[in-house]
Amino acid sequence: MSRAVEDSNRRMLRARDAMDHAYAQPLDVPALARIAHVSEAHFTRTFRATFGETPHRYLQRRRVERAMFLLRETDRSVTDICFEVGFGSPGTFSRTFRDIVGRSPRTYRKETPATGVPTCFAMAWMRPSSAPSAD
Amino acid sequence: MFNAITQSQIYVLDQDEALDFYVGKLGLEVAADVELGFMRWLTVSVPGHPERQILLEKPGAPAMSEETAEQVRELVTKGAMGGWLIFTTDDCRKTYETLLGRGVEFTEEPTERPYGTDCGLRDPFGNRIRFTQPLA
């Protein structure tokens, strides 16, 4: 049984790595399930059981984390950043950002200084927490 | 007081598979491979630098219970065990191409950072590995 769990974990990790890497692209469940080499029906349920949140929510948090990074470290416009990290519209971006971070992108930018930590650390540790009741 | 880091450890799920990857693909060399009976002491190092070794440790009894070993294995495969390594390289892009040719799967291709060019991958078990070409 445990070998099956390990194999499943690695498949889910592969899909999560893909989200970390290709967050700006439209990654839907069929695409992610293909990366994990599992059926679509199996994918969302197993991902959630493995990492404690749905793939959709994970991808949103990854995109919001990258947006937070760009807001902190660059002068690019909020609209540019929205599309850059993979959101389809500024409205969805602002709503999701506020939902996850608790502040609007503009307020976040104003209130947060640049950090200068290595990007791999920022991606892992500065990702906003998943809201308990999300999804 | 202390003057060097000589040994670090990460968990691997299979030491032969770990050798294939760390030596066969990443090009590290075996620093020590000793069958102690209760465990296999297997360390690797960057060629020419035996002063710093990484222990490729297989979780299991008697160091930990079978149940705990199973939990550790599950954490490793979730990428949550915390085992990770960062290497430096003279040429990040060339190293990337070489490893790609050996079938290594990357989580991030060479990317310019304020501190240099770096790259990300996972070992076959879930541990995170990066290598950086520092700014000259």
Domain spans, chain B = 7-134
- Which band of pLDDT confidence, cut at 50, 70 and 90, is reported for residue B60? very high
Average pLDDT, chain B: 95
Q: Which residue of B has its CA nearest to A52?
A: B78
* Cis, bond preceding B62 (omega within 30 deg of 0): yes
User: In chain B, which residues have their Cβ closer than 8 Å to the Cβ of A7?
Assistant: 77
Mean pLDDT of A62-68: 95
Coil, strand, or helix at residue A11?
Answer: helix
Can you give the pLDDT at residue A125? 77
Residue A133, pLDDT > 70, answer no
| Exposure letters B1-19 (e unless 16+ CB within 10 A, then b) | eeeeeeeeebbbbebeebb
Query: pTM of the prediction?
Result: 0.85
Say if residue A99's pLDDT is above 60: yes
Under an 8 A CB cutoff, do A120 and B78 touch?
A: no
Q: Is A84 helix (H, G, I), strand (E, B) or coil?
A: helix
Q: pLDDT over 90 for what percent of chain A?
A: 76
pLDDT reported for residue A135: 41
- The least confident of A87-101, A112-126, B74-88 is A112-126
Residues 32-51 of A with CB under 8 A from B: 50-51
pLDDT mean over B48-65: 94
* A12 lies within 8 A of chain B by CB: yes
Across the interface, do B77 and A120 touch by the CB < 8 Å criterion?
no
Listed residue (A130, A90, A98) closest to A81, CA to CA: A90
Closest chain A residue to the Cα of B82, Cα to Cα:
A124
Q: Nearest-CA residue of chain A relative to B109?
A: A21
Looking at 3.10.180.10, 3.40.50.2300, 3.40.640.10, 3.40.190.10, the CATH number of the domain B7-134 comes to: 3.10.180.10
User: Is some CB atom of chain B closer than 8 A to the CB atom of A16?
Assistant: yes
Under the banding of pLDDT at 50, 70 and 90, the label for residue A113 is confident
Question: Which of A13, A23, A66 to mutate: most B Cβ within 10 Å?
Answer: A13
Read off the pLDDT of each residue in B118-125 and give the average, rounded to a whole number. 96
For residue A122, the model assigns a pLDDT of 75
Which of A90-99, A110-119, B74-83, B87-96 is least confident? A110-119
Cβ-based neighbour number of residue A130 at 10 Å: 17
The yes-or-no verdict on residue B88 having pLDDT over 90 is: yes
The pLDDT tens digits for B123-132 are 999 999 999 9
Mean pLDDT of B85-99: 97
pLDDT for A126 beyond 80: no
pLDDT of residue A131: 56
Report yes or no: A8 and A50 within 8 Å, Cβ to Cβ: yes
Q: In this complex, which of A7, A21, A50 lies closest to B78 when CB atoms are compared? A: A50
Q: Looking at the complex, does the CB of residue A13 fall below 8 Å from at least one CB of chain B?
A: yes
pLDDT score of A134: 42
Specify the 3-state DSSP secondary structure of A107: helix
